[in-house]
Amino acid sequence: MKRIVLGIEYDGSRFFGWQWQVEQRNIQHELQQALSKIAQHSITVQCAGRTDTGVHATEQVVHFDTTAIRTLEAWHRGTNTHLPPDVRVIWAQEAVDDFHARYSAIARFYRYVILNRNTPSALNRQTTWCALPLDAEKMHQAAQNLMGHHDFTSFRAQGCQSKSPCRTMYFIDVHREDEKVIIELSANAFLHHMVRNIAGVLMTIGSEKQSVSWTQELLDVKNRKLGGVTAPSDGLHLAGVYYPEHYGIKKNPIFNKLPNDAKRFD
């Protein structure tokens, strides 16, 4: 039995999220079907982080176990021949030691992309449109209150099933690139809708409906009902997962921002 690790990208616009669901188009089912054709036996994949309806990935990480003997090229390019055009395997490698796509991860990296102009895009389905002018500098300043270890109750979905609302934010950056405002953030793990709720709060601050101090006020009050609107899923991208170096998973350079003492989330 071998364990294979894959990097996956997908456009989530036409999917009902990552997780397998009966009669709903989902990424897990599409990938398992394609891999099973290559392996010629049933394959079940485990992912680094389940994404919701409409959320994209530029580098989701998954693993699966197989008795089939295939080349990495077969798992990579061969699988792609059986996938729809909005899902692609971008790399493949054999797992080292006890690697697990979810439980071995030290940090996840998300990017939230806002198209900030008068009209929405006819071409780009992977951004959230905001017509109100946004002050990216104020958004960045407000975001720095979220750095470090905090109780993120005000930023979690009402139905979040995580046992603890506490997470460690390793970095969060907001900057403008022409008509786009981009939020980049990494933590040891994320609560349900945490990134989208952070994006909603920062967009409210950027449009000057709230002050820069609002992020700190929300951390202190620990009340989701006061936390504003959940931003749409359109602009959210799972952009990278970081693992200890001995697993041999290529590291996104963004993770050079992580502190040296960053550890796996338990």
- Per the structure, the count of domains in the chain is 2
Instruction: Specify the amino acid at residue 261.
Output: D
In this structure, the answer to whether residues 146 and 193 fall within a common structural domain is yes
Q: Is 20 a domain residue?
A: yes
Identify the segments of the chain with pLDDT beneath 70: 264-266
Of 252, 250, 266, 243, give the one whose Cα is nearest residue 107.
Answer: 243
Task: State residue 107's pLDDT score.
Answer: 95
pLDDT at 117 (0 to 100): 96
Helix (H, G, I), strand (E, B) or coil at 41: coil
Assess whether 149 and 224 both reside in one domain.
yes
Q: Residue 69 sits in which domain range?
A: 2-104
Contacts of 127 (CB under 8 A, 6+ apart): 113, 114, 115, 121, 180, 234, 235
Tokens of 183: 């939020």
Same structural domain for residues 69 and 120? Answer: no
Residue whose C-alpha is closest to residue 125's, from 16, 12, 8: 12
With contact defined as beta carbons under 8 Å apart, do 58 and 240 qualify? yes
CA atoms within 13 A on the CB side of 116: 20
Side chain identity at 242, as an amino acid letter? Answer: Y
Query: Is the domain of 41 the same as that of 63?
Result: yes
- Please identify, among 104, 133, 165, the residue that sits at the C-terminal boundary of a domain: 104
Q: What is the pLDDT of residue 185?
A: 97
Q: Would you mind telling me the total number of residues written for the chain in this entry?
A: 266
The CA dihedral of 195, 31, 53, 209, to the nearest 10 degrees, is 30
The CATH number given to whatever domain includes residue 175 is 3.30.70.660
| CA–CA dist 130, 248 (Å, integer) | 40
Asked which of 59, 83, 104 is the last residue of a domain, the reply is: 104
Q: Is 151 a catalytic residue?
A: no
Residue 203, classed as helix, strand or coil, is: helix
Buried b (16+ CB within 10 A) or exposed e, 5-25: bbbbbbbbeebebbeeeeeee
Which listed residue (52, 86, 151, 173) is catalytic? 52
Q: What is the pLDDT of residue 71?
A: 97
Q: pLDDT at position 61, please?
A: 97
